[in-house]
């Protein structure tokens, strides 16, 4: 039998990385939830959470405990297997993309040479969770939410992939580390501004955030696909959503904003993570501001915008990139 001391070090390293990433996912959700409520408050000229801790900073911790302690209600007419499966399905695949994201030059769990493809394929499973949850709830609001989620994600997955393709054409690699390495001198946001704009818009739509939050539009669909969920089931959806936002922002940072590059710091190969996180949270702050300052689009506007504007523009962008790269 193998003992801990004879276990291969790579395996131990991966286990530690997964543990750190899972704890970070919870921390990120708490921070994002707090930020979101605080920013929403100030946008609407009120204070947001103020009671628990200094300026309500512990509010989300308390909320988390409440959600975990609550009973998970399972309505009678739901499909029990699907109802239980959906939150797990929404939470599990979101852990995996964080394994290949290079937080700094040396802080990366695994440098896959197909890293970008890995992230894209893992995030595509998320729609499955929404569908399973929406259908399994046996509730027409959930069902409508799920159906909207599919139409939306099919529409916006194409421009998001096409805008990534422009970067891949320039760097000739799918490894996230090499893509960041190629931005030593100039960030790709300056060379590919159109791709960046398309990526951010589609990223907001992919994570089902306002102004594209049709799958969970509360004024029309109660809460969309997670209407029937309570307690831990709801928390897993919540965690999945915020982690997806983080992934989208990190990929944007890696592809367009130069990843860990910034003014040099001591121990730069590790402390590059400071710059990385600053950029990621700037993007997340931007996404939250958009959510609370723009009205929701109508569903036909949403689909028309994707198919009639984003897809053609990203195709033109790829054409121009290919010609310029070839010259």
Partner 1 sequence: MTFYQYIAEGLFFAFVLLVITGSFITIRARILMHTVMGLAVALLGVAGIYFYLGSMFLTLMQILIYVGAVCIVLIFGIMVGSTPTEIAEKNIKEKKNIFLAVSAAATAFFLLIISLLKTDWISALAEAGDFSVEHLGENFLYQYCLAFELISVILFIAIVGAIILAREGRENKGEPSE
**Residue 11 contacts partner 1 per CB under 8 A:** yes
**Residue 217 contacts partner 1 per CB under 8 A:** no
**Residue list 20-39, contact with partner 1 (CB under 8 A):** none
Instruction: Tell me how far apart the alpha carbons of residues 89 and 125 are, in angstroms, rounded to a whole number.
Output: 8
User: DSSP labels for 61-128?
Assistant: HHHHHHHHHS-----TTS-HHHHHHHHHHHHHHHHTHHHH--SSSS--S---TTHHHHHHHHHHHHHH
Instruction: Tell me how far apart the alpha carbons of residues 51 and 49 are, in angstroms, rounded to a whole number.
Output: 6
CA nearest to 39, candidates 270, 288, 308 = 288
Q: Which of 143, 166, 198, 254 binds partner 1 (CB under 8 A)?
A: 143
**Residue 131 contacts partner 1 per CB under 8 A:** yes
**Residue 178 contacts partner 1 per CB under 8 A:** no
Q: Which of 79, 194, 223, 322 binds partner 1 (CB under 8 A)?
A: 79
For the CA atoms of the chain, what is the radius of gyration? Answer: 20
Nearer to partner 1, 43 or 114 (CB): 114
CA-to-CA separations, 157 to 90, 97, 236, in angstroms, rounded: 17, 16, 23
Nearer to partner 1, 1 or 327 (CB): 1
**Residue 320 contacts partner 1 per CB under 8 A:** no
Q: Which of 57, 61, 147, 265 binds partner 1 (CB under 8 A)?
A: 147
Smallest gap from residue 222 Cβ to partner 1 (A): 18
Asked if the bond preceding 77 is cis, omega within 30° of 0, the reply is no
**Residue list 107-126, contact with partner 1 (CB under 8 A):** 112-114, 117-118, 120-122, 124-125
Secondary structure percentages of the chain, helix, strand, coil, to 5: 75, 0, 25
CA nearest to 61, candidates 21, 29, 39 = 29
**Residue 129 contacts partner 1 per CB under 8 A:** no
Smallest gap from residue 303 Cβ to partner 1 (A): 14
Q: Which of 146, 189, 195, 254 binds partner 1 (CB under 8 A)?
A: 146
Binding site for partner 1 (CB under 8 A): 2, 6-8, 11, 79, 81-82, 112-114, 117-118, 120-122, 124-125, 127-128, 131-132, 135, 143, 146-147, 150-151, 153-154, 174
């Amino acid at each position: 039998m193998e003992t801990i001391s004879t276990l291969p070090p790579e395996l131990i390293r991966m286990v530690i990385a997964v543990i750190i990433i899972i704890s970070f996912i919870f921390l990120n959700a708490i921070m994002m939830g707090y930020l979101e409520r605080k920013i929403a408050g100030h946008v609407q000229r009120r204070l947001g959470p103020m009671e628990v801790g200094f300026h309500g900073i512990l509010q989300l911790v308390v909320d988390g405990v409440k959600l975990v302690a609550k009973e998970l209600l399972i309505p009678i007419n739901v499909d029990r297997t699907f109802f239980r499966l959906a939150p797990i399905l929404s939470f599990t695949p979101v852990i995996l993309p964080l394994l290949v994201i290079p937080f700094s030059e040396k802080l990366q769990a695994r440098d896959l040479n197909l890293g970008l493809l890995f992230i894209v394929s893992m995030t595509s499973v998320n729609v499955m969770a929404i569908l399973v949850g929406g259908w399994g709830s046996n509730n027409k609001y959930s069902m409508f939410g799920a159906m909207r989620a599919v139409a939306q994600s099919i529409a916006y997955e194409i421009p998001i992939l096409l805008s990534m393709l422009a970067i891949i054409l320039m760097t000739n690699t799918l490894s996230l580390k090499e893509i960041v390495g190629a931005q030593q001198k100039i960030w790709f946001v300056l060379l590919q501004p159109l791709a960046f704009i398309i990526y951010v818009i589609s990223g907001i739509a992919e994570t089902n955030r306002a102004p594209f939050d049709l799958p969970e539009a509360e004024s029309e669909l109660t809460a969309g696909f997670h209407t029937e969920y309570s307690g831990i089931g709801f928390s897993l959806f919540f965690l999945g959503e915020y982690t997806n936002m983080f992934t989208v922002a990190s990929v944007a940072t890696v592809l367009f904003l130069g990843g860990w590059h910034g003014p040099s710091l001591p121990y730069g190969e590790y402390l590059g993570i400071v710059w990385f996180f600053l950029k990621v949270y700037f993007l997340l702050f931007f996404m939250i501001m958009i959510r609370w300052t723009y009205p929701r689009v109508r569903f036909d506007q949403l689909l028309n915008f994707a198919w009639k504007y984003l897809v053609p523009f990203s195709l033109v962008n790829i054409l121009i990139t290919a010609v310029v790269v070839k010259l």
